[in-house]
Structure 1
Amino acid sequence: MGLVIPFDDKASDPGLEALVALVAADMNRVNQTILARTGSDVAMIPEVATHLISSGGKRLRPMLTLATAALCGYQGEGHVKLAAAVEFMHTATLLHDDVVDQSEMRRGKLAARLLWGNEASVLVGDFLLGQAFRMMVEVGSLACLDVLSVAATVIAEGEVMQLSAAKDTETTEDAYLAVIRGKTAELFAAAAEVGPIVANRPKAEVAACRAYGMNLGVAFQLIDDALDYGGQAAKLGKNVGDDFREGKITLPVVLSFRRGNETERAFWKRVLEKGDIAEGDLETALATMKKHRALEDTVERARHYGSMARDALELFPDSAPRRALLEAVDFCIGRAH
């Protein structure tokens, strides 16, 4: 289905034009690095990796690394390899996630696991992680290596936390936010943090960029959660309602369950905890969410985190990189329209 969330705020979605233009030259080098580093004598590795890497994707996370490096006046070469490493980490998690979630679609194409199998998807993800860490070492910044290696650990913890919370309708909002900070926002935070680190900027600027990335990442995931129930398949690159069919507990579900009556809570327990989904249940879920304003309030929470991301950049003077990073916040929130 292709229901669109009707939100009152009509703020325009400016897209990512400023950010894309700012980092265009560096992103060309990042893309060349990605192509070079997916090469292998084992033919299946570049086939699987290229299937996902070339399937679109906004490259938002590596662009954050390039933009925060520019924000901090970095003049070297290391940011290109760090950005490529960030993209490889992200791609590896997508390959692994699709296996865990048994997803069928990714970025509008068949998931790699359906074409090459679960084993190949997991192992190629591992290959990309290995390549990411090789590039981090080549940059020669122990501090950047520390940030990104910690991020890899935290992302895995977030995924396991989500697995533990799967199908648990008693999940609290705080517990859910802890999951998305780990599995999604941590890589945004690390991507933004290594820019000022490689530029040897003061701790305050490093912390500000990390806060920007973390809050942007939370906002990004909350909008994704809302779009899964109120978006359009063509824009999502996956099937609307995938989270519902996979029994995922996301914020719209948490809010609907908490605010629901006994009958509504029994519905959520049946479809999510027991996996007993019948014809028309997705429509019932959407109607329940509408009744309790769960989608609108999820987006409102995303706007709150977006505001904190903007505030984090107040430390920096006005510049083209700062304006581009602020626009990225508008883009992430604007996807809900």
Structure 2
Amino acid sequence: MPEAQSAQQATASIKPLVALVSADMERVNELILSMAGSNVELIPEIAHHLIDSGGKRLRPMLTLAFAQMFKYTGDGHVTLAACVEFMHTATLLHDDVVDESDMRRGKEAARMLWGNQASVLVGDYLLGQSFKMMVEVGSLEALRILSEASAIIAEGEVLQLAAAQDTSTQEAQYMQVIEAKTAALFAAASEVSPEIAGESDAVRAACRKFGMDLGLAFQLVDDALDYGGSAQDLGKDIGDDLREGKITLPVVYAMERGTPEDLVFWKRCLEEGDVREGDLEHAIALLKATGSLADTIERAKAFGASAKQALSDLPDGAVKDALVSCVDYCISRVS
């Protein structure tokens, strides 16, 4: 089926992808529960608080889907999918401490219940478990892909910390942050299965490109949702980015296009941390008036289209259609 036709037929839903990988996902979940265990009581308690909180598990599903697309017959894809989810979970635990977030996936963040130190250390434990599982797969290249992603994600965190509360941040700097912090894991999750399936460098590159562009689209939609969505869509409080002094793409656009008075407002909120009653509503009004939310969504759509294009030379069938539908779903969250 041609890519254009496949895209037209796809609906904005993650359900086809969930259905295709459901059997493997059960095995991944069992492995996650097993590897999150420890004789140190606090470790499984904190890990399960986040693992059981209803995340979509999109990143490990990509690993499973590409294994299915390339007819991989071993068990390595299940182990690597669990690695990907552990890496993601560790990142969330660390993120919430750095960002001082109160909510995660609609629940109190782990740091609010057990403290910052415990959250960071359990995140470190999950990273250690993920590397242990990577080694068990026996693919040096898969280990390289995921370990490199882990280092890039950490770099992205430091880049974001450096840019936090800095209203001089430019679009290129911000895109560098989210490419490292968010998209790198999507890319690695998409590349490891074609690697262990023995696919060519060109196929691996196409899968990696798909994951990278999907990750960028996903993050930009989240950026827009923080000012124009709901807590249910985000799994955290609306306006957290403003309260935490985060410079995201809609804000970068708004500061570039706004009046000097607008810039004073953004500096007060983001640099000084002086967010008052009514400021979130005023920020949303500025973002809409300058077209910043709309243009952020358009950027997300462009990355979504690029992700779908990356699939064009890959095998046709139910997996490709489900991946296209998944892209549309990610974009549709803000429509």
TM-score greater than 0.5 by the shorter chain: yes
Unmatched tracts of structure 2, length 5 or more: 1-8
- Alignment of 1:77 with 2:78, yes or no, is no
Aligned residues of 1:192 and 1:210 also touching (Cα < 8 A): yes
Correspondence for 2:174 among 168, 173, 176: 176
Aligned match of 2:3: none
Shift of 1:237: 1.3
The offset of 1:270, in angstroms, is: 1.0
Structure 1: how far apart are the matches of 2:69 and 2:329?
Answer: 19
**Among 24, 27, 30, which residue is 1:26 paired with?**
24
Are 1:222 and 1:302, in contact at CA under 8 Å, matched by a contact in 2? yes
Q: Residue 128 of structure 1: SS of its match in structure 2?
A: helix
Q: Distance in 2 between matches of 1:293 and 1:261?
A: 14
Instruction: Give the paired residue count.
Output: 327
State the superposition RMSD in angstroms.
1.1
Normalised TM-score (structure 1): 0.96
Q: Distance in 1 between matches of 2:151 and 2:171?
A: 23
The alignment-based identity, stated in percent, is: 62
Measured against aligned partners, the alpha-carbon deviations of 1:164-207 in whole angstroms (never above 9, x if no partner) come to 00011111111100000000000000000001001010000000
* 2:69–2:315 CA contact under 8 A, matched in 1: no
Work out the CA distance in 1 between the residues paired with 2:11 and 2:257.
Answer: 31
Residue 14 of structure 1 deviates from its aligned partner by 2.7
Matched, 1:328 2:307: no
Amino acid across the alignment from 1:274: E
Distance in 2 (alpha carbons) for counterparts of 1:191 and 1:90: 11
2:215 to 200, 214, 217: 217
1:86-165 alignment to 2 at 5 Å? 86-165=84-163
- Cα pair 2:191 2:204 within 8 Å, conserved: yes
8 A contact 2:156–2:180 mirrored in 1: yes
Cα shift readout 1:300-322 (whole Å, capped 9, x = no counterpart)? 00000001100100111311111
Question: What does 1:132-281 correspond to in 2, within 5 Å?
Answer: 132-281=130-279
- Counterpart-to-counterpart distance in 2, 1:48 and 1:170: 37
> What stretches of structure 1 of length at least 5 have no aligned partner?
1-10
**Displacement over 4 Å in runs of 4+:** none
Which residue identity lines up with residue 273 of structure 2 in the other structure? G
The Cα offsets for residues 149-176 of structure 1, whole Å up to 9 and x where unpaired, read as 0000000000100000001111111110
Distance across 1 between alignment mates of 2:143 and 2:19: 28
**Cα distance per residue 1:272-296 (max 9 Å; x no partner):** 0111112111111011011001111
Q: Which amino acid aligns with 1:238?
A: K
SS of the counterpart of 1:314?
coil
Instruction: Return the alpha-carbon distance in structure 2 between the equivalents of residues 210 and 13 of structure 1.
Output: 23
Q: Matched residues in 2 for 1:59 and 1:194: separation? A: 16
Separation in structure 2 between the aligned mates of residue 210 and residue 317 of structure 1, nearest angstrom: 15
Query: 1:13: Cα distance to partner?
Result: 6.2
Q: How far apart in 2 are the matches of 1:279 and 1:62?
A: 40
Q: Is structure 2 residue 53 aligned with structure 1 residue 52?
A: no
- Aligned with residue 315 of structure 1, among 313, 316, 326: 313
Query: What amino acid does structure 1 have at the position aligned with 2:232?
Result: A
Shift of 1:12: 9.4
The TM-score with structure 2 as length reference comes to: 0.96
CA drift of 1:235 comes to: 2.3
AA matched with 1:284:
H
Asked if structure 1 preserves the Cα contact closer than 8 Å seen for 2:60 and 2:189, the reply is: yes
